Amino acid sequence: MKNSLRLSTASTMLVRILFAAVAAFPIVFMLVSSLKPDTQIFGDMSSVAAFLPVGNISIDNYAAVFDRVPAARFLVNSIGISAVTVVLGIFVNSLCAFALSRMEVRGKRVVFTVILATLIVPFQTLALPLVWWVNQLPYFELNGFSLEISKGWLDTYQVQIIPFIANAFSIYLYHQYFESIPKELDEAARIDGAGWFKIYRQVVMPLAGPATATVAILTFLPAWNSYLWPLMVVQSEELRPVMIGIQYFFQLNVSWGEVMAYASLITVPVVVLFIAFQRSFINSIASSGVKG
Amino acid sequence: MTTSPLPTRPRPAVKTASHPVPAAPRRRAGFLREQISGWGMISPAAILLLLFVFLPAILGFGLAFTNARLISPRPVEFVGADNFARLFADPTFWRALLNVTYFAVVVVPVQSALALAMALLINKKFRGVNFFRTIYFLPVVTSMVVVSLLWLFMYRKDGLINELLSTFSFGLIQGADWLNDPATAMPAIIALSIWQAAGFHMIIWLAGLQSISGELYEAAQLDGASRWHQFRYVTWPGLKHTRSLVLVTITIQALGLFDQVSVMTQGGPLDSTTTIIYEAVRSGFKQQETSYASAISLVFFVLVLLISAVQRYLTREKD
């Protein structure tokens, strides 16, 4: 009995390791190849060396990437766009969820239902009319002391940020989380003379850390990884985000070492960020009511 | 003084029967203040959703019946169902529909089963559980564009996949030219898509697994239930709601297949990997035919609605 139990734990562990190997091998291959010259990448492919940083290792590919692509500019753009989207997204969506879950607002049920209904509209079906629509929106520009109004958001930073701030799924996550915080806290704060915004800022939000971590990651990932949208709405090189940089490698006689270096360069920041927050992220998404 | 014929505040006067007099006006002011601040807090998100989800959705619906182009000097005209007539007469559209169906029919069961297996493997606490959770989730944080580029390289005739196949089969299996063969291009895209997204659905399964009470397992163990029976009679019924959520999200994501195709095959070879969204983007963006693309998007949206309705019906509460 005990022996068979030990065997089953050992075999479970073996299966776990097998799954981990399948999940990780392409990423390890990418990171390792980014350090090798092209000839060696192909030479190592038929052996375990494909996954090991052995042989002629250097960061030459990375240096070459910065020559071929304005990678620094793209990275700065992506960091800025993602950070602003995350911060504004956390604020706007949590504020909305706060009113919907903790205040007695007339008509809030209808509003919540309508917000949830937007979840079934896939972004891909919105993208094309959205391009047409943002091109009709006014654009305010402060030129010295005079405010200039022109038409069309195409080729700007805000077109990459503002449409993605409000998000029904984030509102839903915050709503579920706020429901689990006792309402007595609000009442106590109100008796002490606190206004609603003060309750939001000083009572509820400090307790909603796990929900905020989840919303932050779920907003950050699509912002950092966005490809289709900037491809359609951003033409100027100095406004483009990192994923578009990949287009610079779609040409004949591509150096795969450089491709792998660029791919690693835009993946590693996300992975590092994810590992730093992974405990709070996976635990919170697993407990914050993604339960259907 | 006491004979004033009309009370100045009729409503609070009635309520004084059960409440202290000064409380009433204060509560009413509080009610009003709550409405104003409540709507003030809701409106930023509500206005943004209105502007960037509802309006484009309605706009897309309308544009599908016009001849609008992205940049065009001609005024936009109503053309009725012309776009749809053209769409349904287009063999590429039917091929795209077939491809997406093929993709979904394979991806939905295989990916949800693998994701559940992964969730079961890391559900219990053991040494290194966080390590495995991180590794399983790693493909999800890697962008689909990067993943596609990476697999594009691995799928080459002389690429890593074929080398691995050859090594593990001791030279017996000679791999295909995966992405350049109409027979293998879609299966290749299916494999990488499952690899990339299984981790995300693992998390949803994990949420469901953790909502099942541990007492149920203890009771089952006391009754001497085997691990398979525990899964069959405790875990599986306990995942009822999670199941429908996972199925709906995977199906909708499968129908929206785009990034992989755009980076790896551009719909080829011989339209064997083209998809509905790829066709919509191709006509709307590359050929600037906003109206035709909107018609495709509308068909896609109706399809998504239909499928989620059918799935909701099939997984409804039967009791």
Task: List, in order, residues 6 or more apart from B271 with CB less than 8 Å away.
Answer: B92, B95, B96, B99
- Closest approach of A147 to chain B, Cα-based (Å): 23
DSSP H or E segment with residue A139: strand A138-143
B:131-160 residues touching chain A, CB 8 A cutoff: 132-147, 149-151, 153-154, 158-160
Token pair of A189, please? 């704060």
The encoded tokens of residue A249 equal 């490698």
- CB distance B38–A162 less than 8 Å? no
State pTM to two decimals. 0.82
For the stretch B157-186, pLDDT in tens is 888 888 888 888 877 777 788 888 888 899
Q: Consecutive 10-residue runs of chain B (319 residues): their mean pLDDT? A: 42 44 59 89 95 90 84 78 89 92 93 93 85 90 90 87 84 81 90 92 85 85 86 86 80 86 86 90 81 89 84 69
| Residue (of B105, B142, B100) closest to B247 by Cα position | B105
All residues of chain B having their beta carbon less than 8 Å from the beta carbon of residue A39 are: none
Distance, in Å, from the CA atom of B207 to the CA atom of A114, rounded to the nearest integer, reads: 25
Verify whether the Cβ–Cβ distance B252 to A27 is below 8 Å: no
Q: What is the pLDDT of residue B179?
A: 87
List, for chain A, all residue ranges whose pLDDT scores fall below the cut of 70: 1-7, 142, 252, 279-292
In one letter, which amino acid is A142? L
Residues of A in contact with B33 (CB under 8 A): 196
Which pLDDT does position B17 carry in this prediction?
43
Residue numbers in A near B247 (CB within 8 A): none
Q: Which residue of B has its CA nearest to A271?
A: B141
H helices present in B50-81, as ranges:
55-63
Residue for token pair 């149920």: B216
* pLDDT value, residue A86: 96
Q: Which DSSP category does B19 fall into?
A: S
CA–CA gap between residue A236 and residue A154 (Å, rounded): 10
| C-alpha distance from B10 to closest chain A C-alpha (Å) | 24
Q: Is B162 exposed, middle or buried (0-12, 13-18, 19+ CB in 10 A)?
A: buried
pLDDT value of residue B318 = 58
Q: Does B258 touch chain A (CB under 8 A)?
A: yes
